[in-house]
Structure 1
Amino acid sequence: MKSAAEHKGCRASAKTGQVSCGSQAGQGDLPTEIWEKVKNHPCYSEEAHHHYARMHVAVAPACNIQCNYCNRKYDCANESRPGVVSEKLTPEQAVRKVLAVATAIPHMTVLGIAGPGDPLANPAKTFKTFELIAEAAPDIKLCLSTNGLALPDHIDTIARSKIDHVTITINMIDPEIGAKIYPWIFFNHKRYTGMDAARILTDRQLQGLEMLGERGILCKVNSVMIPNINDRHLVEVNKAVKSRGAFLHNIMPLISAPEHGTVFGLNGQRGPTAWELKALQDACEGETKMMRHCRQCRADAVGLLGEDRSAEFTTDQVMKMDVQYDLDMRKAYQSRVERERAAKIAAGQKELAECAGEMSAITLLVAVATKGSGLINEHFGHAKEFQVYELSTSGAKFVGHRRVDVYCQGGYGEEDRLSAIMGGIHDCHAVFVSKIGGCPKSKLIKAGIEPVDQFAHEFIEKSAIAWFKSYLDKVKRGEIQHVQRGDAAIRQGSRISAA
């Protein structure tokens, strides 16, 4: 584990400046033991998230801090955001559910505990759950997400529990800014408020981050971007967590719709626009790999990132299932996934090689409707989100996703939703789909967004690069004029269901 601690996260190539942390197609400069931890982890590898699923179990209801962007809701099946669950579980119920999901979804490789409170404010339930799962399903990676307040007190237990991945939410390193985000913390049997609370919290978070690095435990840092409060400050947070060994930094947009009932939502605090979020992520990237594929998951999420299958695995349903955990079957299925993944990577590299020699400063964004597996395999009207790629002569770079409400309801398009969808991808020059109806197609064209359906069921990167090459050719011939698109809105907390 020494090399994991010494690696200190992601690094940039001295020759190309390209950041490598195994988050793209290959191992890059990662030590083998670290690569084995991240190659099929959908949160730690952007490329892997197209192919592998994760699940969270809601065994940790209590929390030891209050955040102005958080409102935990129980028995809620509609909202898709952190802190929300449909049902809380005991450790025994959780392990039964994990085995059921891992049997039904053999590409589920990661089990996380992320709430709905803080796992380390519920240490007995959290570690009992990890213990049971490690014994029953030893091939599944174990993850823990925490606000970090109690982290230094549990480092030894985390290491003994074979938890190789820990996420800490760090929104500030300046107590003045922290006081605007956190009303109070509960620490050592005492409630603290204001700057005193923020000072204790940031000290404990950074201490815990350093301790994880010393133990060779990979750490991802989450930060919530709150315009006019910590947005500029997050550049300093990025430097601080990188210097202490963070493996990835995930800057997420604030979710602050009034209906969620958070302090920020009720006082009108806005979230960032798509341009603002990307600009901050770009500014922080440097030598630190930014995670851009986060879906800000519920505390009981199940499935690929961007989908939620938790409704298929309620406690009542799980108890009725005939669960036959077959490790050999899971390994065989994942081997097939790896072959498909390799084919996808090879196809993209081949298309990029054919684009070699193209000289252009043009960069643009495109949106993709996909169900997963790295394919353009979703109908425009059925998409719950669009994945966004930045295209240049260097290739196709994943830069984020845009949640939307489903356009097609019962065979009919909802026109008010179409306007919102177009607003969500307004900065994109094209949208790739497996199929699209005549009405949305014509309205997208009128809005300056090209609907692209000729690459249906083909690999995303390969298709996007091929389309971009054609786009550049048209610009050179004078058939079209390249223009910059405007900003786009980030959808605030889409509903899970299509209804």
Structure 2
Amino acid sequence: MTSSSPPSTMCPAQAMRPASATPAFPALEGRHPCFSTTAEGHARSARLHLPVSPGCNIACAFCKRDFNRRDQRPGVATRLLTPDEATDIVARALELCSTLAVVGIAGPGDPLASTHALDTFALVRRRWPHLILCLSTNGLMLPAHLDAIADVGVATLTVTVNAVDPAIQAQITPKIAWQRRRLNGIEAAERLIANQLEGIKGAAERGLTVKVNTVLIPGVNDHHIGDVAAQVAAAGARLINVIALIPQHDFAHLPAPGMVMRHRARTDAAQHLKVFTHCQRCRADACGIPGVSDYTEQLYGDRLVAEPTFSHG
């Protein structure tokens, strides 16, 4: 693939990491970088994230959304797109990136807090039925939208689950918006966890391949990752991605987890699920092969539109 993007940002340790002998999902290996568990498969196909989701329904202590070109992390995009604008971006991305295989929606707010994501997927599927459709959500509204998600052709689903103990979850997500009410503390945590597990179960029953993202937060949930993995595995998840905290927002005072803590958390998770280890913490408007190529600037040019979001983790 020809690209004017910068050289790979993968560190030598990542590049030299031995590949797993057996892919977790043979049908997705090399076709979906976020569900490919070998190094070779992860670096074979590109994905496009469409930033069509403006708002959110939960407030996480580590979550800081923004519109800029600098930050390489979730929750950041160059601009918001309407569903119709998103199809134009897909067409342009296919011209730029010959290995594009996946269209995903992961923000900058939660894709199920509005209808924009599902409307966009319906338009994309109509024009490009060969593309894999992928959704990433906090899971609060997942049970209510399972049939619609399946109907628009979403094949892979990522749910961010940071705790299955309400006392821990309440520290991470102290408030949510649920049925036109604000829930706080333990009440909010219990509702979020229940919906996440119910949603994962329903998605698995409908044939979706489910991955869980878990943010590793020192002093908060670092001792709890095995419990998260056990419960989401029982619900039907098949892969877990343990993501190191980026210290910011209300968790700006916490340290990023070190190598030993990350290794211990992944080892605990591996007792229950296959662990994804190639995460690049992608932006909500990312395009290309994670850690290898980036077409975002070419897609969006100089149009920078900043709009506020109430964001999720």
Q: TM-score range by the shorter chain?
A: 0.7 to 0.9
Choose the corresponding residue for 1:49, options 33, 42, 50.
42
Q: Distance in 2 between matches of 1:270 and 1:287?
A: 27
Q: Note the C-alpha offset of 1:105.
A: 0.7
1-structure distance, mates of 2:66, 2:287: 17
> Could you tell me which of 147, 171, 175 is aligned with 2:138?
147
- Tell whether 2:79 aligns with 1:106: no
Q: After superposition, what is the alpha-carbon deviation per residue over 1:281-318, rounded to whole angstroms, capped at 9, x for unaligned?
A: 1232135110011111110011111143201111679x
Instruction: Provide the C-alpha distance between the structure 2 equivalents of 1:219 and 1:202, rounded to a whole number of angstroms.
Output: 16
Deviation, 1:108, is 1.1
CA deviation vs aligned residue, 1:37-64 (integer Å, no higher than 9, x gap)? 4441100003311111111010001000
1:301 pairs with one of 272, 278, 286? 286
> Distance in 2 between the 1:197 and 1:107 partners?
41
Structure 2 counterpart of 1:93: 85
1:312 and 2:304 are equivalent in the alignment: no
Contact 2:49 2:105 in 1 (8 A): yes
Provide, for residues 374-408 of structure 1, a one-character-per-residue CA deviation record: whole Å limited to 9, x for no partner: xxxxxxxxxxxxxxxxxxxxxxxxxxxxxxxxxxx
Counterpart of 1:60?
53
Residue 25 of structure 1 and its aligned partner are, at CA, apart by 5.6
Structure 1 equivalent of residue 250 of structure 2: 263
Please state whether the residue corresponding to 1:211 is helix, strand or coil.
helix
How far 1:24 moved relative to its partner?
3.8
Higher RCO, Cα 8 Å, sep 6+: 2
Q: Which has the larger radius of gyration?
A: 1
Residues 140-186 of structure 1 show CA distances to partners (whole Å, capped at 9, x for unaligned) of: 10000000000000000011011010100000011100111012100
Per the alignment, residue 426 of structure 1 pairs with none
Spell out the pairing of 1:235-246 with structure 2 (5 A cutoff): 235-246=226-237
State how far apart, in whole Å, the 2-side matches of 1:315 and 1:87 are.
Answer: 11
Structure (1 or 2) with the greater helix fraction = 1
> Matched residues in 2 for 1:263 and 1:255: separation?
11
Partner of 2:76: 84
Large movers: runs of 4+ above 6 Å: none
Structure 1 residues 83-128: Cα deviation after superposition (integer angstroms, max 9, x where no partner): 0111111111111111111122111111100000000001x21111
CA RMSD of aligned residues (A): 1.6
Given that 2:62 and 2:246 are in contact with CA atoms closer than 8 Å, whether structure 1 keeps it comes out as yes
Tell me what 1:275 maps to. 260
Q: Percent identity?
A: 38
1:136 equivalent to 2:123? Answer no
Distance across 1 between alignment mates of 2:29 and 2:118: 22
Q: Is the 8 A contact 1:226 1:253 kept in 2?
A: yes
Would you say 1:173 and 2:164 are equivalent positions?
A: yes
The question of 1:119 aligning with 2:111 is answered yes
Per the normalisation by structure 2, the TM-score is 0.86
Residue number in structure 1 paired with 2:66:
73
The equivalences for 1:396-411 within 5 A come to none
SS class of match (2:171): coil
Contact 2:30–2:43 (CA<8 Å) still a contact in 1? no
> Retained in 1: the 8 A contact 2:75–2:284?
yes
Q: Could you list the per-position Cα deviations for residues 470-493 of structure 1 after superposition, in whole angstroms to 9, with x for gaps in the alignment?
A: xxxxxxxxxxxxxxxxxxxxxxxx
Structure-1-length-normalised TM-score: 0.55
The corresponding residue for 1:156 is: 147
| Distance in 1 of aligned mates of 2:301 and 2:53 | 16
What SS class does the counterpart of residue 211 from structure 2 fall into? strand
State the alpha-carbon separation in 1 of the partners of residues 61 and 20 from structure 2: 34
Runs of 5+ in structure 1 lacking a partner? 1-22, 318-499
**Alpha-carbon contact 1:73-1:85 (below 8 Å) kept:** yes
Counterpart of 1:496 in structure 2 is none
**Residue ranges of structure 2 left out of the alignment (5+ in a row):** 1-18, 304-313
Q: Does 1:227 align with 2:218?
A: yes
